[in-house]
Structure 1
Amino acid sequence: MTAYVHIGTVKTGTTSIQQFLHNNNELLLKQNMLYVKSFRKYVIQHWKIADFISFCVENNYSNIQDIQDEYWKNEIHCMQEELVRYKNTNFLFSSEGITRTFFTTNYIKCFKNILSDLGFKKIYIIVYFRDLIDFIPSFCSQTIKAGILHEIDTIDVDKYLLKFVFDYKWICYEYSKIFGKENLIVRLFDQNEFYCKNLYKDFIYSIGLKWDNKFKIPSNQNKSLDLLGIELQRRFNRIFSNTYFNYYIRREKTINLNRLFLLNLVEKYFSNSQDKNLKFCFPEEKFQYYIDYFEESNEWVRKEFFPHKERLFPKKDLSGYKENYELKEMKPEYWDKIADFIAEIIKVKNDVIIEQMAQVKILSDKLDFIKSKDIFNFKYGSARVRIQNQLTYKLGQAIVINSKSLLGYIRMPFVLSYIKEKHKQEQKKYKEKIKKDPSLVLPSLDQYPDYQEAIDIKKTFSYKLGQAFIRANSKRCWGGVYQIAI
């Protein structure tokens, strides 16, 4: 079996690619490529792979036979079932969480071992790299949206925990060492480098498939915040802290729903602004330092994978670069956007309150109905029981029960006579009771909450049989059955 694993990196159209693959799974299957359903997280991508490998590394598990955790055993079982079902198919995984999380060689080794244990003989790694000039600002926006407080623009690169994400040499070297350089598919996230200048076509081309004009193209995903959005979201992150997933202990991260709700609205109102004053630009000194710091790394990647190019990415003139990482001026239109943002928060919250109040009203009405029904039933009983206490039903039920055996047929006349006599006594007691206290007169059946159930009982075989029995008895016409004075 063959696996294609798209590992990112982050901010290289990964969410768009994953949405594209998810939307077109059936068309991909026609070309013998399955976008795997197991190990998915957030519906469209396989971030659970990163979670699982982190769990294995921390617990020193090197193969799937070692796994004792029930959650991960179930995930593996689902994956194995998928492998059996599509045994003659190529398998495709995608998660930027892999490059985002695997920061030592041990993670990559463990990943290779797990894939091999699952039965994959051939494994291709697909990775996209983006020019740091564009990547860093976008990544900064992403870390703020994720609620990470150690933001890239506030920390020196040497001390930054995620600096390996920018080290393309380290990524290529380590994955080549474990999976083989020949199995590493390196692409550049640059429209001029894309096959047919299209990211989706480039990805399809990179995994050896043909473009299908029936492919569904998703809308743009995961847009970057503008400066207003960044300023707002930074403050929301401090107010509504996120409890992050601990890759070594937990399987899921705890999400602050208030922060998530606000983030969705921040993205709606403060993403990809056309206002140059709102375009986030990394602090100039740090920006240049990052670029210089990874220049050697980029050159190594160029020599190894793009020897035909003079540079890995075209050199850009930064002489006119102006940093813009703090909001220094509030224009009237900015206040308008913030006002619209606040207004929608109020509207959404009010809509939620109105919906909840409507649900409470429905539940309250149901509760009132149940209470009134219970009070009514306590005082008068139920219509269902009243029908079942009618002589018609009791006789019909007795005939059905006793007609199932020879002994029942023999004793049937005695049983029916007993039921008739007992019923007559109950009716006499009831008449005496209401004569003394007229308030005890039972209401008509149509006043009972379960009136419809009573009507349904009248349609049963037992009830109709009882009716026929009484009718036949009144005419002294039994068809050779029993004759009882009723």
Structure 2
Amino acid sequence: MVFSSEHLQSRLTSIKELERLKTILFNFGISDISVIVYLRRPAELANSLYATAIRSGSLLTSPPPPKDNYFNNICNHKNTIERFASVFGPESIVPRIFRKNDFINESIINDINYIIGNKCIDEYTIPSDANRSISKLGLKILRNINKKIPVFIKNKPNPLRMDVVNYVDKYFSDEKYIIQSSLYIDYDIEFISSDTWVRDNYFPHKEDIFSREIPLKNKKIIQENLILKK
């Protein structure tokens, strides 16, 4: 059985919570457990987390600094691995680099099936990527919508939201939003010791587990910045 959820990392932040998860799995008869954890460059994680936050109704104008508790928990891969290893055992941890070139056949679906030993992957119909990258202008528009039309009203979903996020995703996804270069550097510096620990313990053949290149804002993003300034 494959049980996949990013909330296992972001929400279960204590040993006690993970021990409860382990007990629940054991009660279902699941005792042979492998923890497959996909590791992404912290700056890229911050970029993605921020876009997700805006989609979920946040009013943040930019990603928080790397010491923010929520972002720090998700970006500190050493802490994540040690936390899960302390409950499920070091031998259960299977770290993977979240990068297309590192996936088996450049597919995360193929990659997971390879790890779990599923040899029937060739019989599957692999769906196309569904995730859309939202642009800076799209995030700006959606953030302003969040101010006027909140996601929840009295703890209930706001019916006025309907397909707002899907609409913005559809028409403002030409160029991916990229956090400012200074934040890229801040996140790289903050988690370099964590990343180095992961490399030394699981990927000693790699010089670095992540690219340290700072993405350049292309012409489309520069044009959007000019629109925002107006």
Name the TM-score class by shorter chain. 0.7 to 0.9
Residue in structure 2 matching 1:302, options 161, 186, 199 = 199
Q: Deviation at 1:171?
A: 0.7
What's the C-alpha RMSD, in Å, of the aligned pairs? 2.5
AA partner of residue 10 (structure 2):
R
Taking structure 1 as the reference length, what is the TM-score of the superposition?
0.43
Residue in structure 2 matching 1:254, options 156, 162, 172 = 156
In the other structure, the counterpart of 1:196 is 105
Higher relative contact order (CA 8 A, sep 6+): 2
AA partner of residue 147 (structure 1):
G
In the other structure, the counterpart of 1:230 is 139
Residue 98 (structure 1) aligned with residue 32 (structure 2) = no
Contact 1:231–1:326 under 8 Å retained in 2: no
Contact 1:236–1:259 under 8 Å retained in 2: no
Question: After superposition, where does 1:141-152 map in structure 2 within 5 Å?
Answer: 141-150=51-60
Contact 1:147–1:242 under 8 Å retained in 2: yes
AA partner of residue 169 (structure 1):
K
Q: Deviation at 1:96?
A: 1.1
AA partner of residue 22 (structure 2):
K
AA partner of residue 162 (structure 1):
F
AA partner of residue 111 (structure 1):
L
Question: After superposition, where does 1:209-288 map in structure 2 within 5 Å?
Answer: 209-243=118-152, 254-271=156-173, 273-274=174-175, 279-288=176-185
Question: After superposition, where does 1:43-122 map in structure 2 within 5 Å?
Answer: 91-122=1-32
Q: Which has the larger radius of gyration?
A: 1
Contact 1:168–1:297 under 8 Å retained in 2: yes
Find the residue that maps to 1:185 and give its secondary structure: strand
Find the residue that maps to 1:313 and give its secondary structure: coil
Q: Deviation at 1:160?
A: 4.2
AA partner of residue 254 (structure 1):
K
In the other structure, the counterpart of 1:171 is 80
Q: Deviation at 1:257?
A: 2.8
| Residues 1:219 and 1:309: Cα distance change in structure 2 (over 3 Å) | same
Q: Deviation at 1:178?
A: 0.6
Contact 1:126–1:184 under 8 Å retained in 2: yes
Find the aligned partners of 1:171 and 1:197 in 2 and give their Cα distance: 25
Q: Deviation at 1:307?
A: 1.8
AA partner of residue 137 (structure 1):
N
Contact 2:138–2:168 under 8 Å retained in 1: yes
| Residues 1:171 and 1:325: Cα distance change in structure 2 (over 3 Å) | farther
Find the residue that maps to 1:162 and give its secondary structure: helix
Contact 1:281–1:325 under 8 Å retained in 2: no
Deviations 1:287-332 (A, max 9, x none): 211111011111111112112222112332x3x745969943239x
Residue 161 (structure 1) aligned with residue 70 (structure 2) = yes
Find the aligned partners of 1:296 and 1:221 in 2 and give their Cα distance: 33
Q: Deviation at 1:148?
A: 2.7
Question: In proportion to residue count, which structure has more helix?
Answer: 1
Find the aligned partners of 2:71 and 2:147 in 1 and give their Cα distance: 21
Find the aligned partners of 2:69 and 2:151 in 1 and give their Cα distance: 20
| Residues 1:190 and 1:161: Cα distance change in structure 2 (over 3 Å) | closer
Find the residue that maps to 1:126 and give its secondary structure: strand
Find the aligned partners of 1:240 and 1:205 in 2 and give their Cα distance: 44
Find the residue that maps to 2:2 and give its secondary structure: strand
Deviations 1:82-130 (A, max 9, x none): xxxxxxxxx2211112112112222112111221222222111111111
Structure 1 unmatched ranges of 5 or more:
1-90, 245-252, 332-486
Contact 1:242–1:255 under 8 Å retained in 2: yes
Taking structure 2 as the reference length, what is the TM-score of the superposition?
0.87
| Residues 1:186 and 1:330: Cα distance change in structure 2 (over 3 Å) | same
Deviations 1:8-49 (A, max 9, x none): xxxxxxxxxxxxxxxxxxxxxxxxxxxxxxxxxxxxxxxxxx
Contact 1:176–1:183 under 8 Å retained in 2: yes
Deviations 1:320-376 (A, max 9, x none): 745969943239xxxxxxxxxxxxxxxxxxxxxxxxxxxxxxxxxxxxxxxxxxxxx
Find the aligned partners of 1:123 and 1:325 in 2 and give their Cα distance: 47
